[in-house]
A and B are shown apart, each in its own frame.
Chain A
Amino acid sequence: MLILVPSISAASLRAASSQAFPKRRLKRERTTDLSFQKTAAAAPCDRQASLTFLPFLFISMGSKEENGDGEMDQTVKKYLRGEAANLEGLQDKKLKGQLAIREELYGKSAKAAAKIEKWLLPSEGGYLEAEGIEKTWRIKQESIAREVDILSLRNQYDIVLPELGPYTIDFTPNGRYMAAAGRKGHLAVVDMKTLSLIKEIQVRETVRDVVYLHNELFFAAAQKKYPYIYNRDGTELHCLKEHGAVSRLQFLKNHFLLASINKFGQLHYQDVTMGEMVGNYRTGSGRTDAMQVNPFNGVVALGHSSGTVTMWKPTSAAPLVKMLCHPGPVSSLAFHPNGHLMATSGKEKKIKIWDLRKFEVIQTLSGHAKTLNFSQKGLLAAGTGSFVQILGDFSGSQNYSRYMSHSISKGYQVGKVLFRPYEDVLGIGHSMGWSSILIPGSGEPNFDSWVANPFETSKQRREKEVHSLLDKLPPETIMLDPTKVGTVRPARKKEKKPTKEEREAEMEAAVEAAKDTDIKKKTKGRNKPSKRAQRRKEIIDRAKRPFLEHWVEEQETFRKKQKTNMETEMPKSLQRFVRQKAT
């Protein structure tokens, strides 16, 4: 049942609640070939919940549609989240009909979503275009400042705090608040909208990293011996002693997990809701400063001094992926928000961009980066020394080229670059404080109030906290391909074993082939018929051997299996009476 809404207004859009809209999964490789019948009912339905009550917004566009069709297709494809199920091989007619109807609905809803994106989103993204012989990477922040409005101008500033640096920063998921941590114990919480300092504290010991938990009320700081959790008022809430002397912290907001890597190379995952330690793994690759969560799937990546990047999930002690990325140490890494791209930088002055679907390097750029960060729109910031470079992918073919660059005052050392979500702003934490510069086109212009709202009221925040706790994901959902959740594993085809006759025939053939081989004539005395016969026998035996060995092996495994069967069938008390075979 489709609800046709003739007049589109912002109000009708607003009325659609957070869950009302269809959710389609991103599916890059089709797993459902439907050759299996039993599970087919489940498998192809994995894309979308029922669509019956979705507020479809069909916009009558009439003849205006002819331009930008290709662009529209691209957007529709994004909302389709993968290819349609292949119904060709399906024999169950009823199921086939149901699935065909569902596929049609998916198509319609994707089209509606694409139209919404095209026509109804309130804001447009930022951009920076050069005219004439200008180059975008030569445009200075000062000249941008002359062009933009006064509100954006407030996002260009330097905070100079020479005593307590170098500084590292973190933003809340909605980009409203910033936490800054100076190496020498200075922790500050700043409201970025009003640019007012909410709280600052001095913890009087080394602070290596700071990270926000699920909202602006809590943040964790990696201090000299342990990480601590503070609230917005600067009150220390927890000391996480089990983590040890942590060098980097990351927060997985869907799972409410705080991940840390300490100076012994131990990776800890702690559930911040219940305080339970979910995982504690030794990476075995020493200490590292390069740690990043892949936002797409929640996998934690670590860059090691050996040049490898390892990816971890909290439920396995071995890394999911171990890839050799650089010949020297990995100095930093970053993930594209769509999860398909990873950027790594090595001490050998190379920045590499990797395709995480194939684990192949796409592009190698020269230049060192102490810190890397991807923006929401896919710009890559690389900071080294007192220089920050922004790379962009403008051809659409994942070919990153220079977009902007920025130099902070000479002698300042960039420690961390971080794009502010939903804003065209790059935050830079450096040895003399922190700065903020404008990078047009880096942020997502349209926020979703139910995902991250920069204008959140405290009531909305409270409500969101409850909702996100209800939707808290178990740590098992962290996997390389998160779209695999809820799918059915296709039935594996059994490899057919050759029958006894077939095997015998094969052996016969081998023996025949061996018989036919010519025996070299040997010198006198060694060429006697008896010797020749012996040699021939040897050749035949050699041809037979692999078959016989295989047969013996099979017998052995069969016997073993039988033995274990017998043992397990018997009650425990009687198992010792099972005859032990002399081996």
Chain B
Amino acid sequence: MKVKVISRSTDEFTRERSQDLQRVFRNFDPTLRTQEKAVEYVRALNAAKLDKIFARPFIGAMDGHRDSIKCMAKNPSYLKGIFSGSDDGDIRLWDIASRRTVCQFPGHQGAVQGLTVSTDGSILVSCGSDCTVRLWNVPGATLAVSDNLSDNSAKALAVYVWKNAFRAVDHQWDGDLFATAGAQVDIWNHNRSQPVNTFDWGTDTTISVRFNPGEPNILATSANDRSITLYDLRMSSPARKVIMRTKANSIAWNPMEPLNFTVANEDCNCYSYDARKLDEAKCVHKDHVSAVMDIDFSPTGREFVTGSYDRTVRIFQYNGGHSREIYHTKRMQRVFCVKYSSDASYVISGSDDTNLRLWKAKASEQLGVVLPREKKKHEYLEAVKNRYKHLPEVKRIVRHRHLPKPIYKAANLRRTMIEAERRKEQRRKAHSAPGSVVTESIRKRRIIKEVE
């Protein structure tokens, strides 16, 4: 006879000293945990509720400007710094952590329309409606925050006066060129007082410009004539152009997939394009109820943030048709510029009410140091929530957002209008000869033509 029975000595299964950690044994056998699916579902539901409770995205406002904020620039080499330029010609460098002005850059006479920082973070370029481009030395990270602002005002390195007012500026990645947008697209060198190159295609003003993060010689611009144009600096003439039905206010390249870019359009939508294939948008991001003014990609390339004339900031997935998140406060006015912070965890918006606002990118994220166990727990809850997100109870909680009344109403109205249009189209189709009315997909409908 051979016999063995389970016998556990207490010493083997408990800790020796009270300073030791308790011993933990695992057995992943499914029969030990009954109804695991129901348990997971309950956890998902609770996690969704907790997320709603902890969703407090607004961190604080940074005030100091005396006019509406028109443009912002991130410092690529310093996480805490952000530059902002306002309508009265004031440029400020902010310390995000303390939410205070670190330094001011006086000089512009009219509105500051564009700000950009060179990739090494040493030179700030600003341009404005006073027809000047100004280059500034970016103060070091060690600059202390002090109350006395007059000490901390910088002098311009160089002032280049040019023929026309500027609307936007962007610095090349890994290079010392920068491009300004105005009556035409000018390419500048740091050391030359005149543009090294000028592009012109059409007569209307170019309103935004953005260099490609992957290929330093390619840039995209949008103009008042509703066109989006791609330029290659190595060629003498512009490369390609697409004309849409409404103008694009801003452009952002996806930093992780640098052949894709997204434009913030006047018709309340954002359109993601593949730069190689401009006859059709890759994705249409709907949700805003007024013109989208600015757009910025998260450094992860999975999300982007938009600011709109409807006084809200929204966060979209790079391939999502609808926004993941909407941020608004009572006092926030028209949003003219937004930026995603370089660590992808904050969003900064600048608006008409002269304030910069700092938001969390994930509304219910826990700030501060998160212990590994806590982090694991958060990840687990995120996963179960994701797994059960299609179930009605979870979906309802996860999707719900409180909207200001005007936006709620405007969204309803827009929905009604779109629906009516769709119905009309359907009826027209039904009562015409088959094939004579062609419904184009939303991704193509807003594009007029593509020009080579």
Where the two chains meet, the residues of A that have a C-beta atom closer than 8 Å to any C-beta of B are 13-14, 16-17, 19-21, 23-26, 39, 41-42, 45-46, 48-50, 52-53, 78-79, 81, 113, 116-117, 121-131, 134, 139, 143-144, 147-149, 151-152, 155, 193, 254, 295-298, 337-339, 376, 422-424, 438, 440, 443-455, 457, 460, 470-474, 477, 482-483, 485-486, 488
CB distance from A38 to the nearest CB of B (A): 10
Residues of B near A339 (CB, < 8 A) are: 34
Residues facing A in B13-43 (CB within 8 A) are 13-14, 22-43
A198 to chain B, nearest CB (A): 17
The answer on a CB contact under 8 Å between A471 and B1 is no
Q: B387 interface residue, CB < 8 Å from A?
A: yes
Please state if A486 and B37 are interface contacts (CB–CB under 8 Å).
yes
B28 in contact with A193 (CB, 8 Å)? no
Our pick among B3, B13, B35, B384 for the contact of A147 (Cβ within 8 Å) is B3
What is the CA–CA distance of A113 and B26 in the complex, to the nearest angstrom? 11
Q: Which of B13, B29, B34, B46 contacts A455 (CB 8 A)?
A: B13
Distance of B318 from chain A, by nearest CB (Å): 14
Separation of A473 and B38 alpha carbons in the complex (Å):
7
The answer to whether B5 touches A152, judged by C-beta atoms less than 8 angstroms apart, is: yes
The verdict on A23 contacting B36 (CB below 8 Å), with A129-B2, A438-B5 known, is: yes
Judging by beta carbons under 8 Å apart, are B387 and A448 in contact?
no
Cα distance, A376 to B29, chains bound together (Å): 12
Between B5, B28, B40, the greatest number of chain A beta carbons within 10 A of the residue's beta carbon is seen for B5
* Closest Cβ–Cβ distance, residue B335 to chain A (whole Å): 32
Query: How far, in angstroms, from A125 to B6 measured CA to CA in the complex?
Result: 6
* Chain A contacts for B9, CB-based, 8 A: 151
CB distance from A45 to the nearest CB of B (A): 6
Asked if B46 and A126 make an inter-chain contact with CB atoms under 8 angstroms apart, the answer reads no
Other-chain contact of B25, A79, A149, A297, A448 (Cβ < 8 Å): A448
**A445, B25: Cα distance in complex, Å:** 11
Q: Tell me which of B149-157, B351-359, B375-383 binds A.
A: B375-383
The answer to whether B377 and A444 touch across the interface, beta carbons within 8 angstroms, is no
- Complex interface: chain A residues within 8 A of B43 (CB): 470-471
Q: Nearest-CB distance from A314 to chain B (Å)? A: 14
Q: Which residues of B contact A447 (CB under 8 A)?
A: 25, 27
* CB atoms of B377 and A48 under 8 A apart: no
Interface string of B380-395 (1 = CB under 8 A from A): 1001101110110000
Chain B residues whose C-beta falls within 8 Å of the C-beta of A488 in the assembled complex: 390
**Residues 131-164 of B at the A interface (beta carbon under 8 Å):** none
Which of chain B's residues have a CB closer than 8 A to the CB of A452? Answer: 32
Set A49, A122, A474: member contacting B387, Cβ < 8 A: A49
Answer yes or no: B7 CB below 8 A from chain A CBs. Answer: yes
Do A473 and B35 touch across chains, with their CB atoms under 8 A apart? yes
Inter-chain contact A470/B46, CB cutoff 8 Å: yes
State the CA gap A379–B160 with chains docked (Å): 90
A-chain residues with CB within 8 Å of residue B29 when the two chains form the complex: 78, 117, 444, 446, 448
Chain A residues contacting B38 (CB-CB under 8 Å) are: 254, 473, 477, 482, 485
B42–A448 CB distance below 8 A? no
Q: Is A131 a contact partner of B2 (Cβ separation < 8 A)?
A: yes
A117 interface neighbour in B3, B28, B386, Cβ under 8 Å: B28
Residues on the B chain within 8 Å of A50, using CB? 383, 386-387
Question: How many B residues have CB within 8 A of the partner chain?
Answer: 47
Closest Cβ of chain A to B370, distance in Å, is 14
18 sampled A-B residue pairs with Cβ under 8 A: A17-B376, A19-B376, A20-B380, A24-B30, A42-B390, A124-B4, A129-B2, A143-B1, A147-B3, A151-B9, A152-B6, A193-B10, A440-B5, A449-B23, A470-B46, A477-B42, A485-B38, A486-B391
Kindly list 5 other residue pairs between chains A and B, CB separation below 8 angstroms, not including A48-B387, A129-B1.
Answer: A25-B36, A127-B2, A152-B7, A452-B32, A455-B10
**Which residues from A are CB-within-8-Å of B383?**
49-50, 52-53
The answer, among B35, B386, B388, for a CB contact under 8 Å with A477, is: B35
Cβ distance A287 to chain B, nearest Cβ, rounded Å: 29
Q: Are A41 and B390 neighbours in the complex by a CB distance under 8 Å? A: yes
- Quick check: A45 and B387 within 8 Å, CB to CB? yes
Q: Are B376 and A455 in contact (CB under 8 A)?
A: no
Which has the most chain B C-beta neighbours within 10 Å: A16, A17, A48, A134? A17
Which residue, of B9, B386, B390, has the highest number of chain A Cβ atoms within 10 A? B390
Which secondary structure dominates chain A's binding surface? loop
Is there an interface contact between B22 and A485, defined as CB atoms closer than 8 Å?
A: no
Residues of chain A contacted by B27 (CB below 8 angstroms): 117, 121, 444, 446-448, 451
Residue contact B4 to A440, C-beta cutoff 8 Å: yes
B contact residues vs A (CB 8 Å cutoff) = 1-10, 13-14, 22-43, 46, 373, 376-377, 379-380, 383-384, 386-388, 390-391
Q: Known: A45-B387, A131-B2, A477-B41. Is A17-B33 also a contact (CB below 8 A)?
A: no
Contact (A449, B387) CB under 8 Å given A254-B39, A295-B34, A477-B41: no
Decide: A482 and B22 in contact? CB cutoff 8 A.
Answer: no
Select B34's contact among A144, A296, A446, beta carbons within 8 Å.
Answer: A296
A-B interface contact total, Cβ < 8 Å: 194
Which residues of the other chain, B, contact A13 by a CB distance below 8 angstroms?
Answer: 26
B5 touches A424 (CB 8 A): yes
Q: How far is the CA of A443 from the CA of B8 in the complex (A)?
A: 12
Residues of B within 8 A of A422 (CB): 6
Q: Which residues of A have CB within 8 Å of B36?
A: 23, 25
Contacts of A124 in B (CB 8 A): 4
Cβ–Cβ < 8 Å partners of A48 in chain B: 387
Chain B residue numbers with a CB within 8 Å of A49 are 40, 380, 383-384, 386-387
Q: Which one of B22, B25, B388 has the highest number of Cβ atoms from chain A below 10 Å of its Cβ? A: B25
The CA of A448 and the CA of B32, in the complex, are separated in Å by 8
- Whether A17 touches B377, Cβ cut-off 8 Å, given contacts A122-B25, A295-B34, A297-B35, is yes
Bound together, the chains give a CA A448 to CA B42 distance in angstroms of 21
Given contacts A19-B380, A444-B27, contact A147 B1 (CB under 8 A): yes
User: How far is A443 from B31 in the complex, measured between Cα atoms in Å?
Assistant: 13
Q: 10 nearest interchain CB pairs?
A: A42-B390, A477-B38, A49-B383, A424-B5, A19-B380, A50-B383, A446-B27, A126-B5, A129-B2, A448-B27
- Separation in Å of the A340 CB from the closest CB of chain B? 10
Shortest C-beta distance, A374 to chain B (Å), equals 11
Residues from chain B with a CB closer than 8 A to the CB of A122 are 25
Chain B positions within 8 Å of A113 at CB level: 28
Closest to B36 in A: A23
A129: chain B residues within 8 A (beta carbon): 1-3
Report the minimum CB–CB distance from A484 to chain B (whole Å): 8
Which chain A residues border B390 with CB–CB below 8 Å?
Answer: 39, 41-42, 45, 488
B4, A127: Cβ atoms closer than 8 Å: yes
Question: How many whole Å from A122's CB to the nearest CB in chain B?
Answer: 6
| CB nearest neighbor in A for B377 | A19
- Nearest Cβ on chain A to B211's Cβ, whole angstroms: 31
Cβ of A254 and Cβ of B34 under 8 Å apart? yes
Nearest B residue to A453 via CB reads B25
Of the candidates B8, B26, B373, the one whose C-beta lies within 8 Å of that of A123 is B8
Q: How far is the CB of A453 from chain B (nearest CB, A)?
A: 8
Residue of B nearest to A468 (CB): B39
| Alpha-carbon gap, A461 to B273, bound state (A) | 56
| A122 to chain B: closest residue by CB | B25
